[in-house]
Amino acid sequence: MKKLFQITNGGPKDWIQPVLSLRVGERHCSFAIVDKASKTLQSLCYYTSERINAPRLGALTATHPDLNRTFQAIFVCYDYPQNMLVPAGDEQLKEPGPLVSTIYRSTESPVMISEPVKRLDLQNTFWVPAQIHEWVTGKYPTARFCHEYSLLIQTLEVSEATNCLVIDFRKEDFVVLAIKNGQVKLVQTFCYVTPDDVLFYLLKVCGQFSLSQQEVQLRLSGLIDRQSALYNSLYQYFIQVEFRMPVWKSQDHQYPAHFFTSLNDLALCES
């Protein structure tokens, strides 16, 4: 695995109420250790790989012994795009697991997980590679799990939001949550190589849901730099562009704080 970022603000001696947040996806994994008492980021690492599997997660905990310590709470977010959001009371889709498997065919053996999406009366059914889920539950049996889409929706006050696109960038893909008049219209993952790829998908989303480029708010987080060609392209096509920042305290200012907002979202589950 390739380490992209590492932040260390203190060791275990500084931990009063340590909370571990772990995010795992097809080609990335990251973790943050936050002290709940002081709301301070203590440790963070972000890795990428051609494929995240159980042996690589095992190597992660061997490389970072702090991951083997006792935590007050452990939260795991699965960043896999294979999912289905349905109304919680829809009897015809009471068991959407088989339909998710049909839509997202894979050579990997998946585990199906369903969870409610709070405040919106939705059910999110998603799959996770079996070897990943078995490793995580074996390593952290008390962990609480969620899907990236559920987390993103629940982190934001969707009902109070105006027209906006909430976008979180990773190295080769990005997640878009489209909100119009306080309603979720779309949450989806798109792959990209160039800024033009990103613009194509965002303009298509705007067109599909009649979101004006002049009025829609872009709330950005993840691996996008203010000086990058990608940011400049977005700023040329959209007027209202802002970064969605984490709220934890950190002494490290080597990297832009919004790079790690998604990990902060997960840490806030304990708040």
Please indicate, yes or no, if residue 217 is contained in any of the structural domains: yes
CB contact set of 251 (below 8 Å; sequence gap of 6+): 9
What is the SS3 assignment for 119? coil
Alpha-helical (H) ranges within 209-260 are 229-237
Query: How many residues comprise the chain?
Result: 271
What pLDDT, on the 0 to 100 scale, is given for residue 93?
Answer: 46
User: Going residue by residue through the chain (271 aa), what tens digit of pLDDT does each one get?
Assistant: 999 999 988 666 667 889 999 999 999 999 999 988 888 899 999 999 999 999 999 999 999 999 999 999 999 999 998 888 877 665 444 554 555 555 555 556 688 888 888 777 888 888 899 999 999 999 999 999 999 999 998 887 755 567 999 999 999 999 999 999 888 899 999 999 999 999 999 999 999 999 999 999 999 999 999 999 999 999 999 999 999 999 888 877 789 999 999 999 999 875 4
What pLDDT, on the 0 to 100 scale, is given for residue 91?
Answer: 45
Please indicate, yes or no, if residue 234 is contained in any of the structural domains: yes
What pLDDT, on the 0 to 100 scale, is given for residue 26?
Answer: 93
What pLDDT, on the 0 to 100 scale, is given for residue 233?
Answer: 94
Please indicate, yes or no, if residue 32 is contained in any of the structural domains: no
Q: How far is 193 from 240, CA to CA, in rounded Å?
A: 24
Please indicate, yes or no, if residue 186 is contained in any of the structural domains: yes
Please indicate, yes or no, if residue 128 is contained in any of the structural domains: no
Give burial (CB, 10 Å; 0-12/13-18/19+) of 89: exposed
Residue 194 domain boundaries: 160-243
What pLDDT, on the 0 to 100 scale, is given for residue 108?
Answer: 62
What pLDDT, on the 0 to 100 scale, is given for residue 39?
Answer: 87
- Report yes or no: 120 and 153 within 8 Å, Cβ to Cβ: yes
Taken in order 151, 156, 157, 163, the sign of the CA dihedral is negative
Q: Over 6-54, what HEC string results?
A: EEECCCHHHCCCEEEEEEEECCEEEEEEEECCCCEEEEEEEEECCCCCH
- Report yes or no: 253 and 200 within 8 Å, Cβ to Cβ: no
Please indicate, yes or no, if residue 52 is contained in any of the structural domains: no
Please indicate, yes or no, if residue 203 is contained in any of the structural domains: yes
CB contact set of 55 (below 8 Å; sequence gap of 6+): none
Torsion angles phi and psi, residue 68, rounded to 5? -95, 5
Report the CATH number at residue 230. 3.30.420.260
What pLDDT, on the 0 to 100 scale, is given for residue 95?
Answer: 57
End-to-end Cα distance, the chain: 31
Residue 40's Cβ-side half-sphere holds a number of Cα atoms within 13 Å equal to: 15
Please indicate, yes or no, if residue 133 is contained in any of the structural domains: no
What pLDDT, on the 0 to 100 scale, is given for residue 208?
Answer: 96
Overall domain count for the chain: 1
Adjacent-strand bridge partners of 23: 30, 77
Q: How far is 9 from 256, CA to CA, in rounded Å?
A: 15
